[in-house]
């Protein structure tokens, strides 16, 4: 296997019914597969994976535009009532709803960029644009928190009566309903397509809904003659925004640091152990590229295997990984020969810096 390296891609959207024979490939299929690989590098994933990526982007875009429309209407209604009533608690909620609606803009740009094909400069494509969008969302939340706090503090030290309490209450309920609907839609779609930024934005909208309900407390306090109730609720809304900021910042930080759920790594290791012919496993690494996962794995196989057989094992390991790990679209498998008897079976994985023998399978 000295110096041999095969990089190829596969269409992993086939019907599982066709895999009824397990991981054993028919003799005819093996011959055809072997001849194809020896003859030329190839890819039989093209159209299907492009269509799948486009579909998830369309779904994300549709969710963003619907969210923008719903929150836009809610914000306009609340802004009108703020002008009539002078409620700073409602103003804080309106500011936050407006910021939440505007976060659709960087996410929309990120989804559009994510559709662009990989090239020689951006060899992994443009999926990481979603992570940049996450940074902008965190900055937007922080700015809205600062503005809401400043307005509430100003009203606390310069009190003023609020009017149209019934309209303020109605606007608070409208804000809750609008935000909760948007939150459910964003979180559901974000989890479906694997977009951390969209899920974080949905969590942000959900908290906005509860802060809208808090405006009712301010209106109730004002109705009872407590003049400070409105700005105090405004400060409580600011505190809620800061909690959202903490959660969103943590999610974006984890994505930027290539964090993945450890359960996904465990699933990948179990899948590799189940591949017939794999004698050991080294490191398994994963990272998110937009809303898709990529993986790298090191496995040990018998040292006497031919290059062709080692290649087949790499393909089998790749298939096992992609079927075992949700949202995994590509896997690179590095093959190491098992050491001679009496040596540590994992010693072959201790010198990856040189990697003299490698069979790589990329999906």
Q: What is the DSSP string of 263-326?
A: HHHHHHHHHHHTSTT--EEEEEEEEEETTEEEEEEEEEE-TT--HHHHHHHHHHHHHHHHHHST
> What is the reported pLDDT for 33?
39
Ramachandran category for residue 355: left, alpha or beta (phi over 0 → left; psi -120 to 50 → alpha): left
- What pLDDT, on a 0 to 100 scale, did the predictor assign at position 22? 39
Q: What CATH class does 47-256 carry?
A: mainly alpha
This model's pTM is above 0.85 = no
CA–CA dist 237, 152 (Å, integer): 9
Residue 14 has a pLDDT of 38
Dist. CA 346–CA 279, nearest whole Å: 10
- Return the exposure string of 249-275: e unless at least 16 CB atoms fall within 10 Å of the residue's CB, then b: bebbeebeeeebeeebbebbeebbeeb
Round to whole Å and give the CA distance between 102 and 24. 52
What are the residues whose beta carbons fall under 8 Å from the beta carbon of 173, sequence distance 6 or more? Answer: 212, 213, 216
Please tell me the predicted confidence (pLDDT) of residue 286. Answer: 95
Distance CA 55, CA 49 (A): 10
Please report, for the chain, the start and end positions of each structural domain, with discontinuous segments joined by +: 16-43+260-349, 47-256
SS3 state at 332: strand
Element (H, E) at 329: strand 328-337
Q: Tell me which CATH code domain 16-43+260-349 carries.
A: 3.30.70.1350
CA atoms within 13 A on the CB side of 335: 34
Q: What is the DSSP string of 53-120?
A: HHHHHHHHHHHHHHHHHHHHHHHHHHHHHHHHH--HHHHHHHHHHHHHHHTHHHHHHHHHHHTSPP-S
Chunked mean pLDDT (size 10), the chain, 363 residues: 40 39 40 36 33 57 82 88 84 78 76 84 87 86 84 82 81 87 87 77 77 79 79 83 83 88 94 93 90 90 91 93 91 87 55 45 47
Residue 105 makes CB contacts below 8 A (sequence gap 6+) with: none
- 331 three-class SS: strand
- Neighbouring residues of 138: CB distance < 8 A, sequence distance ≥ 6: 245, 248, 249, 252
Nearest-CA neighbor of 183 among 157, 208, 162? 208
For residue 55, how many C-alpha atoms fall within 13 Å in the half-sphere facing its CB?
8
Residue 343 has what pLDDT?
A: 57
CA distance linking residue 219 with residue 261, whole number of Å = 43
């Amino acid at each position: 296997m000295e110096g041999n390296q095969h990089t190829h891609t596969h269409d992993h959207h086939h019907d599982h019914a066709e895999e009824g024979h397990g991981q054993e490939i028919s003799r005819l299929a093996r011959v055809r597969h072997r001849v194809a690989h020896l003859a030329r590098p190839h890819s039989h994933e093209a159209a299907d994976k492009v269509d799948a990526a486009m579909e998830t982007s369309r779904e994300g875009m549709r969710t963003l535009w619907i969210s923008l429309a719903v929150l836009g209407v809610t914000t306009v209604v609340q802004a009108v009532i703020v002008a009539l009533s002078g409620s700073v608690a409602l103003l804080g909620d309106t500011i936050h709803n407006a910021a939440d609606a505007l976060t659709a803009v960087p996410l929309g740009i990120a989804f559009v960029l994510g559709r662009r094909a990989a090239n020689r400069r951006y060899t992994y494509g443009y999926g990481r644009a979603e992570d940049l969008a996450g940074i902008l969302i965190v900055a937007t939340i922080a700015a809205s928190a600062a503005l809401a706090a400043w307005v509430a503090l100003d009203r606390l030290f310069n009190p003023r009566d609020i009017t149209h309490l019934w309209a303020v209450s109605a606007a608070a309920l409208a804000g809750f309903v609008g935000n909760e609907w948007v939150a459910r839609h964003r979180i559901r779609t974000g989890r479906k397509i694997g977009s951390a930024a969209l899920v974080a934005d949905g969590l942000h909208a959900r908290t906005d809904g509860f802060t809208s309900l808090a405006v009712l407390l301010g209106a109730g306090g004002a109705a009872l003659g407590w003049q400070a109730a409105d700005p105090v609720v405004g400060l409580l809304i600011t505190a809620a925004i800061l909690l959202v900021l903490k959660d969103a910042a943590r999610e974006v930080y984890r994505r930027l640091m290539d964090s993945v759920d450890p359960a996904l790594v465990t699933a990948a290791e179990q899948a590799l152990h189940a591949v017939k012919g794999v004698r050991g496993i080294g490191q398994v690494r994963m990272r998110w590229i937009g809303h898709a996962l990529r993986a790298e794995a090191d496995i040990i196989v018998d040292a006497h295997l031919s290059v062709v057989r080692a290649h087949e094992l790499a393909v089998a390991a790749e298939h096992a990984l992609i079927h075992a790990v949700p949202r995994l679209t590509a896997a690179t498998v590095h093959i190491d020969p098992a050491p001679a008897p009496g040596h540590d079976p994992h010693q072959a994985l201790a010198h990856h810096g040189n990697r003299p023998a490698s069979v790589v399978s990329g999906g």
